[in-house]
Amino acid sequence: MRPRLAIRRLDSRTVPGLLRDTASRLPDKVFIHFVDPAAPTAPPREVTYSAFRTAASRVARGLSAHGIGPGHRVLLLAENCPEWQEVALGTQLLRAEPVALFASLSAEPARAIAARVSPRAVFVSGPAQWEKLAPSAGALAEAGLSLVVSGEPLPEGSAPAGVELLPLSALLGEGVPALPAAELERLTDAVGEEDPFLLLFTSGTTGRPKGVRLPQRSLVHAVEAGHGAVGTSERDLGLHFLPFAHVAGHDQFVLALSEGHALAMIARREDLDRALALSPTYLFSVPMVYDRVRLAVEAKLDGLPVPLRALARSALAAAARVRLEGSRGLADRALTRVADRLVGKAVRARLGGNVRGLFSGGAPAAPVLYRFFETLGIPFVELYGMSETGGLISSNLFDGVRREASAGLLTPDHEVRFGPDGELLLRGPLLLSGYLDAEDTLAAFDDEGYFHTGDIARLDAKGMLQVEGRKKHLLVLSTGKKLSPEPIEQAIASAAPIEGAVLLGEGKPFVSAAVFVAKVELDRLAAQGLDASEALLPRVRAALGAFSEYEKPKRLVIISGAPQDHPALITPTLKLKREAVVDSIRPRIAEVYG
């Protein structure tokens, strides 16, 4: 039998139950250190476990008084903050369904999703978020909206008749009564495994976002397997900055809640340094954040005097041989200590000085990221999952086997099959209860209840999952060759100065690539009289040494700037929208293949 992740079963089977357990055990322990963007010079605001549960109880009492109960939905359109989760937990206590939207969503998609959801109540952080929904408030009221709760005051008359505007302080203010203890216990006990945890929406890389309905059991099973994979404990302080509209943001939050460890929470990237000053013991992020650290180090190394740069490069190569290949040579071990002093010490300081591990999810990490951090003695643990699986399918191990370009060991809570084309199929308790729209549910499951992930994957000889790419992204060249673009795109994006890539070539005789390059780099090449697409092509091909010749681009299409500079081309989770990128450069693609 192939190995699977270890499971630590929890006594409670719902998130409100887990909160009760931890708040009873560690009532005065600080759960959240919130780096408040509204108070840039103040120390982080601290919320204990008991205070957090009391706040959720206040929300439940207030929402219940406004008629919210089972079968209703409460839409949350706000930046990360403790109050976001207090409203969500209060909603869950009433067996109503919280609905998460990315705070970065523009008005049109936010209104479109709100119309599909038909919320009974809406929580917004302030006027900027409410302005996105206000034009459709009348239609939402006709569909059942009766309450708008706001963290900041909203203009008088900004809601239609019949919709009450309520300040958040009316739910969570210091003088607001919480539920009586017996009633809070009754509500906590009444929440079942199939009751709602969250309704969230897929990133929409290939079309209309799907509404994923996650039950309580999904998150409980996810953290039961995640605990063994990440090896965290009550002593940890995690840096939390993945948005609550992303399932991974909830996985980290519920893991901390179930274990009793603390979180340093931020609402925006600009406050990252303030959170790092708290010396977190681990970070959980999408790969792009870690790649920025790597690229900054690479740039500093390139700027060193030639003798010192040569020493640093030699030391890093030796450290890779020791930590990745098992070298025991005296010279390699001596140079590893040099690498730790020259590079590793600075990287650890940049990450807060106390980090013991980095956890990566939300998108595949390029192998170069794994090699970079592991070379410096910093464990880089990649997890794999999707919204529909509660965020977890498999994981590498903090205290155990880790491999580059591997999704790790499967959780035993998934039954696994592979389709004839290699598609990964899953069945088990981590899966969603269904999509918001019935037709999406019917299309996603087969007759035996297996969920079609859409990912082409395989298990290697040691039971490690290898994800090769999205089934729908498979490129078929006119020569008959087939290739998965994702691993190639990751390798291209790891080659400086490229910051993102989309592979092109469907139905064509050869592969090309659209690559994102910072304007300053393009200006530098232009000043030297060089054509950027010709000058960068050798670097791209050099980064693809492990790939076959037919998988290497023969032409480049240059897009000026980083992906984040093109909001229409990325999702709220910073993934490139493949079709949008292709549409934006279609005339240039025609020239490449002219």
* pLDDT tens figures, 64-75: 999 999 999 999
pLDDT in tens, 458-511: 999 999 999 988 888 888 888 888 888 988 998 898 888 999 999 999 888 999
Task: Please answer whether residues 137 and 163 qualify as being in contact, where contact means their C-beta atoms are separated by less than 8 angstroms.
Answer: yes
Write down the pLDDT at residue 207: 62
pLDDT at residue 430 is higher than 90: yes
Task: Please answer whether residues 179 and 168 qualify as being in contact, where contact means their C-beta atoms are separated by less than 8 angstroms.
Answer: no
pTM: 0.90
pLDDT at residue 378 is higher than 80: yes
Instruction: Name the DSSP letter for residue 494.
Output: T
Instruction: Name the DSSP letter for residue 113.
Output: H
- pLDDT > 70 in the chain, percent: 99
Sign of CA dihedral 268, 77, 97, 412: negative
pLDDT in tens, 16-61: 999 999 999 999 999 999 999 999 999 999 999 999 999 999 999 9
pLDDT in tens, 115-148: 999 999 999 999 999 999 999 999 999 999 999 9
Domains of the chain: 15-215 (3.40.50.980), 287-353+356-471 (3.40.50.12780), 474-592 (3.30.300.30)
Phi, psi of 313 (to 5 degrees): -65, -40
Question: Can you list the pairs that 460-465 forms with residues at least 24 positions away whose Cβ atoms lie under 8 Å?
Answer: 460/406, 462/2, 462/3, 462/401, 463/2, 463/3, 463/4, 463/409, 463/410, 464/401, 464/403, 464/406, 464/407, 464/408, 464/409, 465/384, 465/393, 465/394, 465/406, 465/407, 465/408, 465/409, 465/410, 465/424
Given pLDDT bands bounded at 50, 70 and 90, which one contains residue 2?
confident
pLDDT at residue 7 is higher than 60: yes
The tokens for 411 are 């959780």
Write down the pLDDT at residue 496: 84
Phi, psi of 35 (to 5 degrees): -85, 95
Tell me which of 423 and 574 has the higher pLDDT: 423
Instruction: Name the DSSP letter for residue 417.
Output: E
Q: Is 413 helix (H, G, I), strand (E, B) or coil?
A: coil
pLDDT in tens, 411-420: 999 999 999 9
- Quote the CA–CA distance of 573 and 249 in Å, as a whole number: 11
- Quote the CA–CA distance of 173 and 553 in Å, as a whole number: 59
Write down the pLDDT at residue 495: 85
Write down the pLDDT at residue 206: 53
Residues 6 or more apart in contact with residue 147 via CB below 8 angstroms: 63, 66, 68, 120, 121, 122, 163, 164, 166
Write down the pLDDT at residue 247: 96
Given pLDDT bands bounded at 50, 70 and 90, which one contains residue 545?
confident
To which residue do tokens 């009873």 refer?
Answer: 24
pLDDT at residue 328 is higher than 60: yes
- Quote the CA–CA distance of 558 and 568 in Å, as a whole number: 17
pLDDT at residue 246 is higher than 60: yes
Write down the pLDDT at residue 204: 62
pLDDT at residue 205 is higher than 60: no
- Quote the CA–CA distance of 79 and 98 in Å, as a whole number: 15
pLDDT in tens, 252-273: 999 999 999 999 999 998 999 9
**Rounded-to-5 percentages of helix, strand, coil across the chain:** 40, 20, 40
Q: Counting Cβ atoms within 10 Å, is residue 170 exposed (0-12), middle (13-18) or buried (19+)?
A: exposed
- Quote the CA–CA distance of 111 and 106 in Å, as a whole number: 9
